[in-house]
Structure 1
Amino acid sequence: MAYVWNSALQKKAGELHGDAWTIEIDETIEENGAAPSWHQYISGSFAQFRCSLCRRGWGSSKVKVVFHFNLNTASRRGTIKLRGFKQECKTCSAPQWERPQFPVENMDVLMEKLVKKIRMRCYRENLGETNRPPVFNGRIDGPHETAHCEACRLGRCSQAN
């Protein structure tokens, strides 16, 4: 999964002053838990899920994504840590936490917004406040399944009803 995110990041890499940036998946990072020299960006997006037990699939437009990022100016290398909060199947009696699978279009929008945050926070660029409307490749209506959302269980979901 990190490969796909790194591929989306490389589409925007030209905006990062020639520095080398990589993304790693880190399921331990927490909202407001970034180390002092790290920055944080939190967003939400549509993603697909598939139950590893019954193979049922579903989509959610309320998947929380947390990024922590840091630029080592001496080595000109940046690191991005990413956590996409999981969901579980609502029909299985002993469901597993399933990882979100983001459509490429949604990953591109997330990377565009993340790169803007990196440029503002790590390179101190003044980019103003332009908002690109979110892209949701998938269904965006329907209830939020609070009982099956990892972020809700951890008290980190702003979508909880």
Structure 2
Amino acid sequence: MAGISSGNIWIDTFHILQKKDLEERYRKRWNLQFNYSLADNLTEEQRKAGWKISQTTRFACFTCSNCSHFWNSGRVTLIFHYRLGKSKTGTVLFYPFRQMCRQCDYDRFINPRFKEESVKITLENLILKIRKNCYGEKMDSDSQHIKNPIIRRTKPHERDLCEACMKGVCNKEYDVL
């Protein structure tokens, strides 16, 4: 699949990073899929099935598809569920929370757009967590380089327009094993 792009920065970046850091190292391929119905917790059944969860917050941009209004947000919530399957694959499910436009009262959620560097840092951090939590890799202070890009807070956060706020999961950062 070398050289073929999905057209999605998250999927393409994850494919490149997992190839080097997971597939070549552990002989298991990992796939990233969007899932807009992920919860911010795991059920007992999901835990028993090996699922893990990670949540973080990143900076992103939005453009309303109705009125073209543009805005930035320093509080875009991302949830990842991940698990190492019994076959030769691992799965990552991904939910980037959306926001609504205040300019035109457009009642649909708009997907965030992220800078390439932010996507890369976020996925590198996730892969470190996968290596630790799915493969039991010990992370000493030299090998655990979890990076957090500088979050630039812009204007007050509009809770009434934030999907993550509406679901009660905004601005939390955690991992559940």
- TM-score by length of structure 1 reads 0.88
Partner amino acid, structure 1, of 2:130: I
Contact 1:20–1:78 (CA<8 Å) still a contact in 2? yes
- Any unmatched runs of 5+ in structure 1? none
Partner of 2:29: 20
> Scaled by the length of structure 2, what TM-score is found?
0.80
Contact 2:56 2:171 in 1 (8 A): no
Picking from 73, 85, 109, the partner of 1:97 is: 109
Contact 2:28 / 2:90 at 8 angstroms: preserved in 1? yes
Correspondence 1:144 to 2:150: no
**Aligned-residue CA RMSD (Å):** 2.0
1:30 aligns with 39
Q: Spell out the pairing of 1:82-161 with structure 2 (5 A cutoff).
A: 82-128=94-140, 130-136=144-150, 139-158=152-171
Counterpart Cα distance in 2 of 1:89 and 1:60 = 12
Unpaired segments ≥5 residues, structure 2? 1-5, 173-177
Aligned residue for 1:11, secondary structure, equals helix
Q: State the percentage of identical aligned residues.
A: 29
Change (3 A) 1:131 1:143: farther
Cα separation, 2, equivalents of 1:139 and 1:41: 21
Q: Does 1:58 align with 2:64?
A: no
CA contact (8 A) 2:121 2:148 kept: yes
Q: In structure 2, what residue type is equivalent to 1:134?
A: N
Aligned residue in 1 for 2:3: none
How many residues align structurally? 157
Change (3 A) 1:141 1:128: farther
Note if contact 1:68-1:80 (Cα within 8 Å) is conserved in structure 2.
yes
Letter in 2 for 1:52: S
The 1:55–1:25 alpha-carbon spacing in structure 2 relative to 1, beyond 3 Å, is same
Partner SS, residue 124 of structure 2? helix
User: 1: CA distance between counterparts of 2:106 and 2:113?
Assistant: 21
Name the CA distance, whole Å, in 2 between partners of 1:120 and 1:132.
12
Higher share of residues assigned helix = 2
Name the structure 1 match of 2:12. Answer: 7
Residues 2 and 25 in structure 1, CA contact (< 8 A), matched pair in contact too = no
Distance (Å, rounded) in 2 between the aligned partners of 1:7 and 1:158: 26
